[in-house]
Amino acid sequence: MTRNGKIQKNGVLVLDDGTKLPDGATVRVELIEEPLADDGDNGELSPLFTIGRRAVHTGIPDLAANHDHYLYGHPKVTDEQP
């Protein structure tokens, strides 16, 4: 059985569909989205400040220089300057 829900105040889990689990039930909880850090303003940081956490290793060493090639099929850029 898989159910979605949210953690409320004081760590209380409330399931979206209102399912009640028995006291002492063993559950597995998987965090779907990482909570954003407090920036002192509205409790959330701009995604630009947390972009490093979202980076993945692609194994493509020239991805930054040739992103147009990989996304749109443009010719690759070389390191040589004309």
Q: In this predicted model, what pLDDT tens digit does every residue of 10-54 receive, in sequence order? A: 888 888 888 888 888 888 888 777 665 554 555 566 778 878 888
Cα separation, 53 vs 45, in Å, equals: 12
SS3 6: strand
Confirm whether 82 is domain-assigned: no
Range of the domain at 35: 1-76
Q: Is residue 8 part of a domain?
A: yes
- Structurally, how many domains does the chain consist of? 1
Tell me whether residue 40 is exposed, middle or buried, using C-beta atoms within 10 angstroms of its C-beta: 0 to 12, 13 to 18, 19 or more. exposed
Q: Is residue 12 part of a domain?
A: yes
pTM beyond 0.85: the answer is no
Q: Is residue 81 part of a domain?
A: no
Helix, strand, coil share (%) of the chain residues, nearest 5: 20, 5, 70
Do the domain assignments include residue 25? Answer: yes
